[in-house]
Amino acid sequence: MTAVHLDAWYVTGIVEGEGSFCVSFNHRSRLNVGIETRPSFSITLSERDRALIELLQDYFKCGAIRYSRADRTYKFEVRSVEEIVTRVVPQFRRYPLRGSKRNDFELFALICALIQQRRHLDPNGLREIIELAFQMNPSGKRRLAKDELLRVLEKVKV
């Protein structure tokens, strides 16, 4: 097979359908705020589309690919905030999403900028991040409810 070039607008189009901008939270007692913030950009495709997932990884020049045996899908995922800010966010600034996913992207980009400023490590910054994250369209079930997260923050000594 010859090398196929993915057009930038094609990439935005496929992300409109199959992409996900997600910010998740986990308990982490070793952190002062007690909560870890994890942003993730991903694209999930059927196992038939392994070659295409690899082309998408080549396009973004970062991230990892994982196979889900349960779903029979390949997921391309970028978790590094540095890579999200330098490689993922600029794509959707230049070639914007046209549907409701754009709202998720804007919140996601804002949250990642706050994380870069290390705001997720102080209770007030993290509270803001949690409020923004819960405005995003829920993709799947959240492990921790918003109230539960905010209750953890109330206990933090500032």
Region from 16-24, 60-68, 84-92, 141-149 binding its own copies, contact rule CB under 8 A = 16-24
95 lines the binding site for its own copies (CB under 8 A): yes
Q: Is 4 in the site for its own copies (CB under 8 A)?
A: yes
Considering only residues 11, 88, 89, 115, which one is a binding residue for its own copies as defined by CB under 8 A?
11
- Contact pick of 2, 61, 100, 147 for its own copies (by CB under 8 A): 100
Q: Is 116 in the site for its own copies (CB under 8 A)?
A: no
- Strands of 35-46's sheet, edge to edge? 19-27, 35-46, 73-78, 64-68
Q: Judged by CB under 8 A, which stretch of 45-53, 77-85, 116-124, 146-154 contacts its own copies?
A: 45-53
Q: Which two tokens stand for residue 109?
A: 């980009």
Q: Is 3 in the site for its own copies (CB under 8 A)?
A: no
Applying CB under 8 A, among 27, 48, 72, 151 the residue interacting with its own copies is 48
State the residue for tokens 């020049």. Answer: 61
The rounded distance, in Å, linking the Cα atoms of 106 and 117 is 17
- The residue from 28, 32, 38, 51 that contacts its own copies (CB under 8 A) is 51
Q: Name the site residues for its own copies (rule: CB under 8 A).
A: 4, 6-18, 45-46, 48-49, 51-52, 55, 95, 98-100, 137
